[in-house]
């Protein structure tokens, strides 16, 4: 099994270019199932989750050509309407095949999903949206079986009782070929939702309101060929900003949409981090002292749960007591015992983590438990005294493209090994 080993205490310098967004690329790749026209996607990150999604859509009938970070996708005909367990268990984003298959051909058989073990994350809202559009839903042997009548899906009003990014994405993709108008209320507003809608619009879809809580979709009969560039990964960008801050380094982060990380920048500025931002680039400057922070994770445009573990690691070295409240997932503090192994002093009280600052991290052997938890351990290891060995880094490769190489190029002493 692969591991990463880091000799901490090294200052970083230079620049890092942010990769394309995983959470944007995955639904856009799934949307290729909708159309029989050519779709060219650029800035697609090379990640295990992307490879899993490519395997899934190829199995369903998408013809894929790849050149570097560009994919050419054509789906002349759906060859299979079943996303089986072996494909779906690797990541829950596989469930995004439901909407495209159902709206294009009227049938989908999708295994219930897997992915990071950070809470129950049920798919009930996905199924609620499909039912509102006229689908019938059954369950058999661990699969969701969705069907439409001869008329296909019909536009309708979808009132989500709570915000869900994945359910919003599935509802949007299902609605673009539904007959008539669909209104999605309480929709997720993430930049990745906007990116999906921009790609679908380039394909010929009629969508308004993306980026707000109310999205209107007018069903169409067919698509156009298109080219689309996936947005940069805002979570990766913020992770590298924290890497600079925690090592007290001056580091330039390139290819970043500053509007997407506005709340994050406000928080780290309150913590005392100095930076200069312009032209999709941010220069992190050395900071003498970091202040404690109180943060609550929320849906966009609030502070993202996907940055909770990273910010917590930074808070460990601040001068005081920080509090982070997790309001999205009920089981997303699994990194805390591992951070405490490295010398942190973090206590859990319900859905709140209380971080006692002034920590001096000390290298040790630790274990990654999920994607974002794994990168929090890397951040701690960068500043820890001595050597840190991080096991189970397959979590890391699901969402961070060449992170070890990017950090190594900036001066980190980091190697990847295999324990056999």
pLDDT of residue 121: 54
pLDDT of residue 117: 45
- Within 10 Å of residue 348's Cβ, how many Cβ atoms? 12
Q: Which fold has domain 22-229?
A: UDP-n-acetylglucosamine1-carboxyvinyl-transferase; Chain (3.65.10)
For the segment 353-401, what is each residue's pLDDT rounded down to a tens digit?
999 999 999 999 999 988 888 999 999 999 999 999 999 999 899 999 9
Torsion of CA 210, 114, 78, 187, to 10 degrees: -20
Q: What is the residue extent of each domain of the chain?
A: 2-18+232-418, 22-229
Residue 242 falls in which region: left (phi positive, over 0), alpha (psi -120 to 50) or beta: alpha
pLDDT of residue 332: 87
Active site members:
116
Strand partners, 83: 110
**pTM for the whole thing?**
0.96
The CATH number of the domain covering residues in 2-18+232-418: 3.65.10.10
pLDDT of residue 208: 98
Alpha-carbon separation of residue 331 from 120, 245, 350 (angstroms): 8, 27, 10
pLDDT of residue 87: 82
pLDDT of residue 72: 98
What stretches in the chain show pLDDT beneath 50? 115-119
Strands (E), 342-386: 345-349, 352-356, 365-367
Q: Is 229 exposed, middle or buried (0-12, 13-18, 19+ CB in 10 A)?
A: middle
């Amino acid at each position: 099994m692969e591991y990463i080993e880091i000799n901490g205490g090294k200052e970083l310098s230079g620049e890092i270019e942010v990769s394309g967004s995983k959470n944007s690329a995955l639904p856009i790749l799934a949307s290729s199932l909708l159309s029989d026209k050519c779709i060219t996607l650029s800035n697609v990150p090379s990640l295990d989750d992307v490879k899993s999604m490519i395997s899934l859509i190829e199995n369903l009938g998408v013809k894929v050509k790849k050149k570097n970070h560009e994919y050419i996708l054509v789906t002349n005909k759906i060859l299979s309407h079943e996303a089986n367990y072996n494909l779906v268990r690797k990541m829950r984003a596989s469930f995004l095949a439901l909407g495209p298959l159902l709206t294009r051909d009227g049938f989908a058989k999708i295994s219930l999903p897997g992915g990071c073990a950070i809470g129950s994350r049920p798919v009930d809202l996905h199924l609620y949206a499909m039912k509102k559009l006229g689908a019938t839903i059954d369950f058999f042997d661990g699969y969701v079986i969705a069907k439409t009548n001869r008329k296909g899906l019909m536009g309708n009003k979808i009132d989500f009782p709570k915000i869900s990014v994945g359910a919003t994405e599935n509802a949007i993709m299902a609605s673009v070929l539904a007959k008539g108008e669909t209104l999605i209320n309480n929709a997720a507003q993430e930049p990745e939702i906007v990116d999906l809608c921009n790609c679908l619009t380039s394909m010929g879809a009629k969508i308004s309101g993306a980026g707000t809580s109310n999205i209107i979709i007018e069903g169409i009969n067919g698509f156009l060929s298109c080219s689309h560039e996936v947005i940069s990964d805002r979570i990766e960008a913020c992770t590298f900003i924290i890497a600079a801050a925690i090592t007290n380094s001056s580091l330039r982060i390139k290819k970043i949409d500053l509007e997407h990380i506005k709340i994050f920048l406000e928080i780290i500025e309150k913590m005392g981090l100095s930076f200069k931002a312009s032209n999709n680039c941010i220069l992190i400057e050395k900071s003498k002292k970091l202040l404690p922070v109180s943060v609550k994770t929320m849906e966009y445009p609030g502070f993202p749960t996907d940055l909770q573990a990273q910010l917590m690691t930074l808070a460990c070295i601040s001068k005081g007591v920080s509090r982070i409240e997790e309001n999205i997932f009920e089981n997303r503090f699994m990194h805390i015992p591992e951070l405490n192994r490295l010398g942190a002093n973090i206590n859990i009280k319900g859905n709140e983590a209380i971080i006692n600052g002034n920590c001096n991290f000390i290298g040790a052997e630790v274990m990654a438990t999920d994607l974002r938890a794994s990168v929090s351990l890397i951040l701690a290891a960068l500043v820890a005294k001595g050597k840190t060995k991080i096991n189970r880094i397959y979590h890391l490769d699901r969402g961070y493209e060449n992170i070890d190489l990017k950090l190594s190029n900036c001066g980190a002493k980091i190697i990847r090994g295999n324990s056999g």
